[in-house]
Amino acid sequence: MTEIKRKTNETDIKIVLDINGSGKSDINTGIGFFDHMLESFSKHSLIDLSVVCDGDLEVDFHHSVEDVGIVMGKALKDEIYPLKNRERFADATIVMDEASIKCAVDLSNRAYLVYEVPVFGKIGEFDAELAEEFFRALVFNASINAHIIKERGSNKHHIVEAVFKSFALSLRRALQYNDKIATPSTKGIL
């Protein structure tokens, strides 16, 4: 289990994360839709996650969403590496009604994000494009390679929720324990 706190002039965040959990969550960012997405991530990744974020929501949601991604990414990095006895690579496609999102991850200890999910506008009060900001902050701070691709869909809520779920399931599969794999790299280290 990893606990990280980060305080700036824009946000005050505390995250507790356990990759060997059961999907329990306690989320409070002050952003209803974002809380729902983080709860969904926790549930489908089986990662226990507690998030408390006090952000400058009177400005907008950008600082809170991006900074939660930064802190979650740092906590994930602390939990994942050094990678040993884990699958490392995984992918998942999640469908939600008309929406289909595919995510592939590599726990490579090298950060890269391909995010081909063109979705804009509001989901409640949440700006849909903030999902990309969250994942960029998360994967770069976690040193994860993730490709998230929209295959189809028109409902913004379905699309973004499928993004979070496909990432969660991919991560869960990549973290699957495998005692036949010591370090999953020909280099001998990640």
Q: What is the pLDDT of residues 13-59, one digit of tens each?
A: 999 999 999 999 999 999 999 999 999 999 999 999 999 999 999 99
pLDDT of residue 187: 77
pLDDT of residue 15: 98
Element (H, E) at 74: helix 62-80
Q: CB of 169 within 8 A of CB of 162? A: no
Confidence of residue 92 (pLDDT cuts 50, 70, 90): very high
The yes-or-no verdict on residue 188 having pLDDT over 90 is no
pLDDT of residue 127: 97
The correct answer on CATH 3.40.1410.10 for the domain covering 2-174 is: no
Q: If you write DSSP's letter for every residue of 135-147 in order, what string do you get?
A: HHHHHHHHT-EEE
Nearest to 147, CA basis, from 111, 95, 100, 99: 111
Distance separating alpha carbons of residues 136 and 69, to the nearest angstrom? 8
Confidence of residue 88 (pLDDT cuts 50, 70, 90): very high
Confidence of residue 144 (pLDDT cuts 50, 70, 90): very high
pLDDT of residue 186: 76
pTM, two decimals, is 0.96
pLDDT of residue 173: 98
The yes-or-no verdict on residue 190 having pLDDT over 90 is no
110 secondary structure, DSSP code: S
